[in-house]
Structure 1
Amino acid sequence: MKIGLYFGSFNPIHVGHLIIANHIAEYSDLDEVWFVVTPHNPFKKKSTLLDNFDRLELVHRATKDYDKLKPCDIEFNLPQPNYTINTLVHLQEKYPGHEFALLMGEDNLKSFHKWKNYQVILEHHHIYVYPRISGEQQTTIFDNHPKIHHIDAPIMELSSTFIRKSIKAGKNVKPMLPAHVWEHIDDMLFYK
């Protein structure tokens, strides 16, 4: 089984995340996309970041109606700070029958050469890159790399930061969130 790993804090997960993940699950050779919820870095003070398990719960609620989209808490049990290469090694040991690929935005691809052991990641894993809004198309050292696949997914201009600020300001953000997510955030008074 081919699994695409979509890393993020998902603070909160929103319709933009779902649109990108679902598009890649439906229009690529991946069988599923797993939302890898990145844990809070214990060395950083981040008051706007919900607890790890609250964010995981939001991802559970967001993906429950999608067969090909799954929440993943694998990084919760890894030492912090963590690197993607460690997560990939851990997942490969836990699921030896699966093939794992990374999902990332074009903006992250530009700095991918700075990631720890990026060459090892590219040696063993494919990367699916989705477009982001940026001025002009910039070339990277990874252009035409056989393991990097550019996916013509919808461009989403929606951010969790904007949603959090809007909730705090008392704005209606219901259309930006999956219904189950919005209901839980509203019930729990998250981000107020």
Structure 2
Amino acid sequence: MNIGLYFGSFNPIHIGHLVIANHMAEYSNLDEIWFVVTPHNPFKKKSSLLDNYQRLELVFRATETYSKLKPSDIEFNLPQPNYTINTLAHLEEKYPQHTFSLIMGEDNLNHFHKWKNANVILENYHMYVYPRISNDKSTSQYNNHPKIHMVNAPIMEISSTFIRNAIKEGKNVQPLLSKSVWQYIDEMNFYKN
């Protein structure tokens, strides 16, 4: 199977994540999309994150009715901070029957050259890139690269940061979250302080 790896903090997972992942599963040659819940992104402050297992539970609830979308806690037991190259090596070893590809937004592609072992990743893995509204359109260095596939997915300008702030302000964010995710966040009083 060709597995698309969608890395993120998913703090919380929202309908934008689901729309993009489902689009990749339906309109590319990826068979499944795994939401890789990242315990600690080297570029993000750790303090604003919900507990790893709470975010995994949100992803589980968001994806349980989609046969091609799966939650993954593969990075929970890997050394911190997590680097994609290490996770890919671990996945290759654990699941030799699968082929792995990366899913990322066009904005992340602009900074891909800063990733640890970026050239090794690009030599060995395909990348599926979805469009983002951005003033920084410097992805030209990757134009026509045989391993980079631009996928014309819907542009989703919803952010987890916006959702967290809105909840803190007492705003209704239910339309931005799947029902089961909203219920869990509300029940657990997440992001209210």
SS at match of 2:141: coil
Residue number in structure 2 paired with 1:24: 24
Residue number in structure 2 paired with 1:159: 159
Residue number in structure 2 paired with 1:2: 2
Residue number in structure 1 paired with 2:108: 108
Residue number in structure 1 paired with 2:56: 56
Please give the alpha-carbon distance, in whole angstroms, between the structure 2 residues aligned to 1:39 and 1:157. Answer: 23
Residue number in structure 1 paired with 2:65: 65
Q: Is the 2:106–2:139 Cα contact (8 Å) retained in structure 1?
A: no
Please give the alpha-carbon distance, in whole angstroms, between the structure 2 residues aligned to 1:45 and 1:9. Answer: 11
Residue number in structure 1 paired with 2:91: 91
Instruction: Report the residue type matching 1:69 in the other structure.
Output: L
TM-score (norm 1): 0.95
Please give the alpha-carbon distance, in whole angstroms, between the structure 2 residues aligned to 1:149 and 1:136. Answer: 19
Residue number in structure 2 paired with 1:184: 184
Q: Is the 1:48–1:191 Cα contact (8 Å) retained in structure 2?
A: no
Instruction: Report the residue type matching 2:135 in the other structure.
Output: G
SS at match of 1:157: coil
Following superposition, the deviation at residue 82 of structure 1 comes to 1.9
Residue number in structure 2 paired with 1:150: 150
Q: Is the 2:56–2:73 Cα contact (8 Å) retained in structure 1?
A: yes
Please give the alpha-carbon distance, in whole angstroms, between the structure 2 residues aligned to 1:45 and 1:66. Answer: 31
Following superposition, the deviation at residue 41 of structure 1 comes to 6.1
Runs of 4 or more, structure 1, over 4 Å off, are none
The verdict on how the C-alpha distance between 1:134 and 1:45 changes in structure 2, with shifts beyond 3 A counting, is closer
Following superposition, the deviation at residue 40 of structure 1 comes to 3.4
TM-score (norm 2): 0.95
Structure 2 unaligned residues grouped into runs of 5+: none
SS at match of 2:140: coil
SS at match of 1:71: strand
Residue number in structure 1 paired with 2:170: 170
SS at match of 1:21: helix
Identity, in percent, stands at: 73
Following superposition, the deviation at residue 136 of structure 1 comes to 6.7
Q: Is the 1:40–1:51 Cα contact (8 Å) retained in structure 2?
A: no
Please give the alpha-carbon distance, in whole angstroms, between the structure 1 residues aligned to 2:139 and 2:5. Answer: 24
Residue number in structure 2 paired with 1:128: 128
Following superposition, the deviation at residue 137 of structure 1 comes to 4.0
What is the aligned residue count?
A: 191
